[in-house]
């Protein structure tokens, strides 16, 4: 299964992507995690992106698209993946379509985590107390949500138009959202088997 999770910061998409990854033996491909790992290990990419992440801005598309292209060509992604944090704008969405078309694959579902800004901000602030993320300052949170509305929401609409979008009520508990996702994935798998 080739899956994509989309939604604002704090919507729980990363948590659910990890659960799906474990339950269905699919690699969890998170651009945010990949950038943070590069920063932690002090690679050249890490040094380049560190100030960008801290500000809440997007890393340039060339870097991000190249990173994803390489990651999706790895052996463990051959039978599927859960893509988290990419695509975040229309340029990246077009690049992803191109990449998948090249290898004769498509997306099976785009899970959309729908959440109000109020709840998103509340959740990110709560998370900032547990995790030590440089981009959980009020300024960077505001910037990330603004970019989400401007640049990522058009990506949601693009996938809605393809009929692959699975809207989820992300304000509910982790367990409830997880149950809804598994029901949707069961339907997909039954459809594929039929
Ligand atoms: P969040 O969804 O909470 O903003 P992520 O871990 O997905 O957290 O991303 C953290 C940061 O990594 C982003 O603010 C951005 O700087 C960078 N980033 C992640 N994914 C992308 C992407 N697809 N394109 C550009 N920058 C990205």
User: What's the gap in Å between 185 CA and the centre of ligand 1?
Assistant: 25
In a domain, 159, yes or no: yes
Residue bearing tokens 């030590």: 132
Distance CA 121, CA 139 (A): 11
In a domain, 193, yes or no: no
Residue span of the structural domain in which 38 resides: 2-181
Number of domains in the chain: 1
In a domain, 187, yes or no: no
- Tell me: pLDDT of 173 over 90: yes
User: What's the gap in Å between 161 CA and the centre of ligand 1?
Assistant: 24
In a domain, 77, yes or no: yes
Percent of the chain with pLDDT over 70: 99
pLDDT, position 60: 98
CATH code of the domain covering residue 108: 3.40.50.300
Q: Is 13 a catalytic residue?
A: yes
Nearest CA to ligand 1 atom 2: 9
| Cβ(86) – ligand 1 distance below 6 Å | yes
pLDDT in tens, 137-153: 889 999 999 999 999 99
In a domain, 192, yes or no: no
Element (H, E) at 125: helix 117-130
In a domain, 191, yes or no: no
pLDDT in tens, 93-125: 999 999 999 988 999 999 999 999 899 989 988
In a domain, 189, yes or no: no
pLDDT, position 19: 98
Residue bearing tokens 């990449």: 99
Q: Of 13, 19, 71, 123, which is the active-site residue?
A: 13
| Cβ(167) – ligand 1 distance below 6 Å | no
In a domain, 188, yes or no: no
Distance CA 154, CA 148 (A): 9
Q: What angle do CA 105, 106, 111 make, to 5 degrees?
A: 145
Q: Of 19, 123, 144, 164, which is the active-site residue?
A: 144
User: What's the gap in Å between 68 CA and the centre of ligand 1?
Assistant: 13
User: What's the gap in Å between 38 CA and the centre of ligand 1?
Assistant: 13
Q: Which residues pair with 113 in a beta bridge?
A: 168
What does 21-89 look like in DSSP terms, one character per residue?
HHHHT--EEEHHHHHHHHHHTT-HHHHHHHHHHHHTPPPPHHHHHHHHHHHHTSGGGTT-EEEES---S
pLDDT, position 86: 98
| Cβ(39) – ligand 1 distance below 6 Å | no
pLDDT, position 6: 98
pLDDT in tens, 54-64: 999 999 999 99
Mean pLDDT over all residues of the chain?
94
Q: Is 144 a catalytic residue?
A: yes
């Amino acid at each position: 299964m080739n899956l994509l999770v989309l939604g604002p910061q704090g919507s729980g998409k990363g948590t659910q992507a990890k659960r799906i990854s474990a339950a269905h033996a699919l690699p969890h491909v998170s651009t945010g995690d990949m950038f943070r790992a590069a920063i932690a290990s002090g690679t050249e990419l890490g040094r380049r992106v560190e100030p960008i992440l801290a500000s809440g801005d997007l890393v340039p598309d060339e870097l991000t698209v190249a990173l994803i292209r390489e990651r999706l060509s790895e052996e463990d992604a051959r039978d599927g993946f859960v893509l988290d944090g990419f695509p975040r704008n229309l340029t990246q969405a077009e690049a992803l379509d191109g990449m998948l078309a090249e290898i004769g694959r498509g997306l099976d579902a785009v899970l959309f985590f729908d959440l109000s800004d109020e709840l998103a901000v509340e959740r990110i602030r709560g998370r900032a107390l547990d995790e030590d993320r440089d981009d959980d300052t009020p300024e960077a949170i505001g910037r990330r949500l603004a970019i989400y509305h401007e640049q990522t929401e058009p990506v949601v609409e693009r996938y809605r138009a393809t009929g692959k979008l699975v809207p989820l009520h992300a304000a509910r508990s982790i367990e409830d959202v997880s149950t809804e996702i598994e029901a949707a994935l069961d339907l997909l798998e039954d459809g594929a088997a039929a």
